[in-house]
Amino acid sequence: MSIELDKITIKTALTSCLGRDFLAFEGSEDFVADLSAHAEEVRVQTGDYLFKEDDPVKHGYISISGSFMLERATSEGTRHIFAFVFTGSLLGFSEQHHFTFSAKALSESAAIKVNMTFIEELFDKYPEIAKRVHNKTNKILSMILDQLFVLGQKTAHQRIAIFLLGMLKQIGNQQNTFLLTMARRDVADYVGMSIETCSRGLSKLSKQGIISIKDNYIVTVLDEERLVEFASK
Amino acid sequence: MSIELDKITIKTALTSCLGRDFLAFEGSEDFVADLSAHAEEVRVQTGDYLFKEDDPVKHGYISISGSFMLERATSEGTRHIFAFVFTGSLLGFSEQHHFTFSAKALSESAAIKVNMTFIEELFDKYPEIAKRVHNKTNKILSMILDQLFVLGQKTAHQRIAIFLLGMLKQIGNQQNTFLLTMARRDVADYVGMSIETCSRGLSKLSKQGIISIKDNYIVTVLDEERLVEFASK
DNA sequence: CGAGCCCTTGATGCATTTCAACGAATGTGG
DNA sequence: CCACATTCGTTGAAATGCATCAAGGGCTCG
């Protein structure tokens, strides 16, 4: 059971979790050695689960490639999607006994898997790491607050526009085209509306020339300014 | 600048944040002395703010009495309420530069106020405390996820029922009557609907004999089972 | 007593869900 | 290689739910 810390995907993920200089604090070499010896890389096929709701939390995970969606089932058989996560997100690092949501792979994905009791040991041994993970947790909390805010907004079109702006932000400033890795149904369950309303919202944005959609999943934002405007009314 | 750790309100709040035995770990006496020397008790009148959105984060807060609501303004002049917090919640403990929401007192309230740089020092000096705060953060995260889930639900009645069940859970298993400290408008902004819809929802539950409301703010849950049912359809 | 605030209730119009139909893309078995 | 079934996205029409507008009652405070 070990991982290769030289892999670029793993380095990128850890940098995102622990900060750019996570290899440079005092004692970091020991930490790296410890981690690579005790962590394990798991691969998940499209549509399969990294873990499921109500599973006991035996491991923490760090996503290193592909993408996952975090979902919770409702009592009526529908579901809600909390988040789409990409590289470098922490999953299950809380001290809860059971997961309160599932992580489903949207594409062929991979994650690092670390035993929870070992994580505790790492935190005790390397307070610097505990601190950085704590920071990351706070960032995640802040992202979830933003999403909470979005869902509090009343109109559906607004929420779709904000969703698209979020995707844009995630890929960085350079590009304005991105691939939606998730199905319409997933987007709808994320922003809290029916598939049809979601589809209509996207169509409307298309017709107005604010975005263009190719092959159902390739979205180009043509007029970000108007999209922002659309998001706030 | 100091607080009296003997005060029952403060003890209760700290117990909620740091765990029942926070006075019993190794070095805890020093920690308690440090904290009480550097913390400050602040009182906030009903309707006043403990801190406001966009304020620089100079201090962290722990609520010790009364209740606060955490709100964020929207671009259209409306607002969204993230949470109602009672005793023992951490506020502003993240490493963000500015608050992304305001904390408004719903009743005469109080909080402990600690300088952020001093908090950092405390964390470095007492890893055990850092760990416990981290745990508490994870719990808060989990609560926010639950709220996210609620807002993802489509019907208004559902959300109101879930809100009431949340209030019930908060006061413990013993009672089935509680005082709503917040106005209808606040509840509405919390569950994401208009005041009128909120009012109608409560009326409907009343008429069906599932709850009863006295003097507008005193709610008694008469039939929890049917309330749960109501919440899931 | 009157002013102001909050909650409730009714009426109306709009937004969204639901039901239904269709085309495109994909996969299956003959 | 071709019917056929299946899945997914889109669009239309109808029904429903919610926001908005408007009015009235209860309460508090001056």
pLDDT in tens, B39-68: 999 999 999 999 999 999 999 999 999 999
Q: What is the dihedral of CA A64, A68, A70, A74, to 10 degrees?
A: -160
**pLDDT of res. A26:** 87
Is residue B110 helix, strand or coil? strand
Spatial neighbors of A223 by CB under 8 A, at least 6 apart, are A209, A210, A211
d(CA B61, CA B115): 9
- Mean confidence (pLDDT) of chain B: 93
Q: What is the pLDDT of residues B131-166, one digit of tens each?
A: 999 999 999 999 999 999 999 988 999 999 999 999
Q: What is the pLDDT of residues A85-128, one digit of tens each?
A: 999 999 998 888 999 999 999 999 999 999 999 999 999 999 99
d(CA B90, CA B54): 18
List Cα–Cα distances, A229 to A194, A206, A219, B104, B206, in angstroms. 23, 15, 18, 29, 41
Average pLDDT over residues B213-222: 95
Helix (H) or strand (E) holding A125: helix A116-125
Using a CB-CB cut-off of 8 Å, the residues of chain B touching A74 are 153, 232
The overall longest dimension of chain A from CA atoms, in Å, is 57
Q: Which two tokens stand for residue A69?
A: 């969606």
**pLDDT of res. A118:** 95
> Given a cut of 90, is residue B205 above it in pLDDT?
yes
Q: What is the pLDDT of residues B73-84, one digit of tens each?
A: 987 788 999 999
Q: What is the pLDDT of residues B87-122, one digit of tens each?
A: 999 999 888 899 999 999 999 999 999 999 999 999
* pLDDT band at residue A6 using 50, 70 and 90 as cut-offs: confident
DSSP states of A23-52: TSSTTHHHHHHHHHHH-EEEEE-TT-EEE-
Closest CA to A100 of A47, A148, A151, A55: A55
State whether B130 and A134 contact (CB < 8 Å): yes
Q: What is the pLDDT of residues A39-88, one digit of tens each?
A: 999 999 999 999 999 999 999 999 999 999 999 998 888 899 999 999 99
d(CA A103, CA A83): 10
Which among B72, B141, B192 has the least Cβ separation from residue A137?
B141
**pLDDT of res. A218:** 95
State whether B100 and A124 contact (CB < 8 Å): no
pTM: 0.93
DSSP states of A179-198: E--S-HHHHHHHHTS-HHHH
> Given a cut of 80, is residue B233 above it in pLDDT?
no
Burial string for B210-226 (b: 16+ CB within 10 Å, else e) reads: bbeeeeeeebebeeeeb
d(CA A73, CA B221): 26
Q: What is the pLDDT of residues A130-172, one digit of tens each?
A: 999 999 999 999 999 999 999 988 899 999 999 999 999 988 8
Task: Note the strand C nucleotides within 7 A of protein beta carbons.
Answer: 6-11, 15-20
Count Cβ atoms within 10 A of the Cβ of residue A66 and give its class: 0-12 exposed, 13-18 middle, 19 or more buried: buried
Q: Which two tokens stand for residue B194?
A: 């208009």
Spatial neighbors of A47 by CB under 8 A, at least 6 apart, are A104, A105
- CB contact A130 to B (< 8 Å): yes
**pLDDT of res. B49:** 95
List Cα–Cα distances, A216 to A110, A203, B40, B71, in angstroms. 25, 11, 57, 37
Q: Which residues pair with residue A178 across a beta bridge? A: A219
> What is the torsional sign of CA A212, A216, A218, A224?
positive
State whether A138 and B189 contact (CB < 8 Å): no
List Cα–Cα distances, B193 to A127, B160, B205, in angstroms. 44, 10, 17
**pLDDT of res. A208:** 95
CB B140 within 8 A of CB A140: no
Find the Å distance, CA of residue B17 to C1' of nucleotide C20: 54
**pLDDT of res. A171:** 86
Q: Which two tokens stand for residue B231?
A: 């919440």
d(CA B188, CA B80): 9
Is residue B133 helix, strand or coil? helix
